[in-house]
Amino acid sequence: MHSVYDPLNKPQMTEPATTALYEQPLNERMRSFLRMEYLYKRFDFQVAALDPWAHRGALEALIEIIALLGRADMKNEFIMELERHAQTMEALQANPRVDGTRLTEILARVRALLGTLRSQETGFGYELRNHDLISTVRQRSSIPAGTCEFDVPTLHNWLRRPSQDRQTELRSWLQHLDLVRECVTLCLGLVRESADPTPAVAVEGFFQRQLEGTTPCQLVQVRIPARQTCYTEISAGRHRFTIRFMDHTDAQSRPVQVTRDIAFELSCCVI
Where among 160, 175, 192 does a domain terminate?
Answer: 192
Where among 192, 225, 256 does a domain terminate?
Answer: 192
Examine residue 92 and state whether it is found in any structural domain, yes or no.
Answer: yes
Examine residue 3 and state whether it is found in any structural domain, yes or no.
Answer: no
**Do 132 and 45 belong together in one domain?**
yes
Tell me, what CATH number does 252's domain have?
2.60.440.10
Examine residue 13 and state whether it is found in any structural domain, yes or no.
Answer: no
**Do 104 and 236 belong together in one domain?**
no
Examine residue 219 and state whether it is found in any structural domain, yes or no.
Answer: yes
Q: How high is the pLDDT of residue 177?
A: 95
**Do 179 and 153 belong together in one domain?**
yes
**Do 65 and 184 belong together in one domain?**
yes
Q: Say how many domains are in the chain.
A: 2
- What does each of the 271 residues of the chain score in pLDDT, given as a tens digit? 333 434 444 444 455 568 899 999 999 999 999 999 999 999 999 999 999 999 999 999 999 999 999 876 899 999 999 999 999 888 888 777 777 788 889 999 999 999 999 998 888 988 898 899 999 999 998 899 999 999 999 999 999 999 999 999 999 999 999 999 999 999 999 999 888 999 999 999 999 999 876 778 899 999 999 888 899 999 988 788 999 999 988 778 899 999 999 999 999 998 7
Examine residue 207 and state whether it is found in any structural domain, yes or no.
Answer: yes
- Domain of residue 249 covers 198-269
**Do 85 and 214 belong together in one domain?**
no
Examine residue 38 and state whether it is found in any structural domain, yes or no.
Answer: yes
**Do 176 and 107 belong together in one domain?**
yes
Q: How high is the pLDDT of residue 1?
A: 38
**Do 49 and 89 belong together in one domain?**
yes
Q: How high is the pLDDT of residue 168?
A: 96
Q: Closest Cα to residue 85, out of 169, 5, 172?
A: 5
pTM of the model: 0.87
**Do 167 and 58 belong together in one domain?**
yes
Tell me, what CATH number does 113's domain have?
1.10.3900.10
**Do 211 and 227 belong together in one domain?**
yes
**Do 103 and 129 belong together in one domain?**
yes
Where among 151, 166, 192 does a domain terminate?
Answer: 192
Examine residue 4 and state whether it is found in any structural domain, yes or no.
Answer: no
Examine residue 75 and state whether it is found in any structural domain, yes or no.
Answer: yes
Q: How high is the pLDDT of residue 96?
A: 77
